[in-house]
Amino acid sequence: MTCPNCGRQFEDGKICPFCNVDTALYAGTVRISEALYNNGLAKIKVSDLSGAIDCLSRSISVNKNNTQARNLLGLVQYEVGHVGEALKNWVISCGLQRGDNPATGYIEIIQKNTPALERLNDAIRIYNQALKDLAQNSDDMALIKLKQAVDLNPKFIDALNLLTLCYLNQNEKARAGAIAERVLAVDNGNTTALSYYNESNPSSRSMAYKAGLIRRRAPAVAASEDRPVISHKKVVLHERRNANFHLEGILAFVIGAICTVGIMYLLVFPAFERSWAAQIEESRSQLTQVEQVHETLIEEKDQEINELYTRISQNEASLDEWARRYDSLERSVQILSAFELFQEGRLREAANAISGIEADGLASDIMERAYEIRSVTYPQLADQYFNEGRTAFYAEDFEKARVDFERAYRFAQYGDPALYSDVIYYLAWTFSLGIDIDQGIHYFERLLEEFPEHNRVTIAQDRLNEISEIIYDEE
């Protein structure tokens, strides 16, 4: 015979001399495991994922070497959002069957699709944070995080059920019922979703809920009008003796069965228990290895993320430094270009080119050239624009006068205060003569406030009073 456990051959008997396993009993466990696997597969076909997980988990608990059941369990767990448990089952499956094993392909697909795996891991992490928020009575924060987890993984059953519970706690039964229906669309046998749906819809139950209840009830024989009625037979003395005879036979059979079980318990079960204890210990060791690999992967990812953040910070600092250097270089070029115009005698162009440019922080020679341009051109341009504006003012070309006075104002504030006050005076008059009364009032008030010793203060005050009277009469 060939031992189904260790694979070695022996001549006779049912007990393997190498691993001490009862081959007949072991073959029975294999059949039970296959039957549970088939039940799980049937439940998957009717979208009963919770029932499938239960059957497949029991299948591999009976026979840990059933890689088909373990691989299928991993697929169902991955479907409902239990990514870590799915990976553990596939890794263990690869350890049990190193040849042609679909679990190897599943793991490769997940490893190649890193963004999808990170998205699922983020959903699990946010879900765990939501659990902490609920424990701290932060229901609103938990609700927000659960929505984020569901957006990342729309089939995350645990997150959907917890989101349903949050809506029920907030008495939003319509939303709770809609989320419960989403769960039942994926897993119509999920008892948690079924109970939540029943609570959110107390007056009616959906077809999915009824189907879940019917599937979980034991098949009952319905009463029928066509079913024959069996009458009770009266027992006479002779028949009672026959009944007692049958009772003795039944008792003998039960006692014999008990004795058989006792013998099996004393002879067979110890070896079987030792074998299972070794297998359980091996599974625990493999599980520990998988957890260590998972933790190592997480640490590596965290380290990569920290390195990326460091690089981003360094790049941002470099960009800021280059932006500062570029700004300094651009301002220096503009000042040098203005200085060339200044040396060619094109004062207006030089002044306009340097207008608004801040020379602070530049090289000392560049700052000196900017100062030289301003100290020479600004007083001359202020005087030229002022004279042109005054000529236009007396020619009653107030629009041109306004433009020239505003240009003179821009350059006069860096030069002679007397010229600066005259520019303000004429600007006030220009605006007050119909262009913009409010601006005229503004400049008259500035003249009275900043230059109270001006020789035309009286005229400015009279004009301001006159404007006020005109505005009062219009009102």
DSSP string, 312-342: HHHHHHHHHHHHHHHHHHHHHHHHHHHHHHH
Cα–Cα distance measured from residue 110 to residue 87, given in angstroms and rounded to the nearest whole number: 9
Read off the tokens for 157: 């059953």
Residue 137: how many CB atoms within 10 A of its CB? 9
Give the C-alpha distances (Å, rounded to integers) separating 111 from 94, 117, 305: 15, 8, 18
Closest CA to 351 of 407, 299, 296, 306: 407
Give the C-alpha distances (Å, rounded to integers) separating 201 from 175, 176, 211, 242: 11, 9, 16, 58
Residue 239's pLDDT is 35
Cα-based torsion angle of the residue sequence 183, 184, 189, 195 in order, rounded to the nearest 10 degrees: 80
End-to-end CA distance of the chain: 119
Radius of gyration of the chain (CA): 47
Read off the tokens for 436: 């913009």
- Return the amino acid letter for 318: S
pLDDT in tens, 368-395: 888 788 777 888 888 889 999 999 999 8
- Could you give the maximum distance between any two Cα atoms of the chain, in Å? 150
Closest CA to 350 of 369, 373, 368, 371: 373
Which H or E run includes 427? helix 417-430
Residue 57's pLDDT is 92
Give the C-alpha distances (Å, rounded to integers) separating 56 from 16, 42, 53, 167: 28, 11, 5, 32
Contact between 431 and 440 under an 8 Å Cβ cutoff? The reply is yes
Q: Where are the alpha helices (DSSP H) in 63-138?
A: 67-79, 83-96, 102-112, 114-135
Task: Find the angle CA(96)-CA(97)-CA(99) to the nearest 5 degrees.
Answer: 155
pLDDT in tens, 111-123: 888 888 888 888 8
Closest CA to 131 of 116, 122, 141, 121: 141
- What is the separation of C-alpha 250 from the centre of its chain, rounded to a whole number of angstroms? 66
User: What are the residue ranges in the chain where pLDDT is below 70?
Assistant: 1-2, 4-14, 17-18, 20-26, 203-257, 259-276, 355, 472-475
Residue 65: how many CB atoms within 10 A of its CB? 15
- Secondary structure class of 9 (helix, strand, coil): strand
**Topology classification of domain 23-112:** 1.25.40
CB neighbour list of residue 441: distance below 8 Å, 6 or more residues apart? 428, 432, 464, 467
**Over 123-162, what HEC string results?**
HHHHHHHHHHHHHCCCHHHHHHHHHHHHHHCCCCHHHHHH
- Could you tell me the sign of the dihedral formed by the alpha carbons of 299, 303, 306, 308, in that order? negative
Closest CA to 14 of 28, 32, 31, 33: 28
Task: Find the angle CA(412)-CA(416)-CA(418) to the nearest 5 degrees.
Answer: 100
Contact between 89 and 73 under an 8 Å Cβ cutoff? The reply is yes
| The CATH homologous superfamily of the domain defined by 117-216 | Tetratricopeptide repeat domain (1.25.40.10)
Cα–Cα distance measured from residue 307 to residue 319, given in angstroms and rounded to the nearest whole number: 18
Residue 271's pLDDT is 58
Beta bridge partners of 220: none
Cα-based torsion angle of the residue sequence 344, 345, 347, 349 in order, rounded to the nearest 10 degrees: -40
Cα–Cα distance measured from residue 121 to residue 109, given in angstroms and rounded to the nearest whole number: 16
Q: Where are the domain boundaries for CATH 1.25.40.10 in the chain?
A: 23-112, 117-216, 360-474
Cα–Cα distance measured from residue 398 to residue 261, given in angstroms and rounded to the nearest whole number: 121
- CATH entry 1.25.40.10 includes domain 360-474: yes
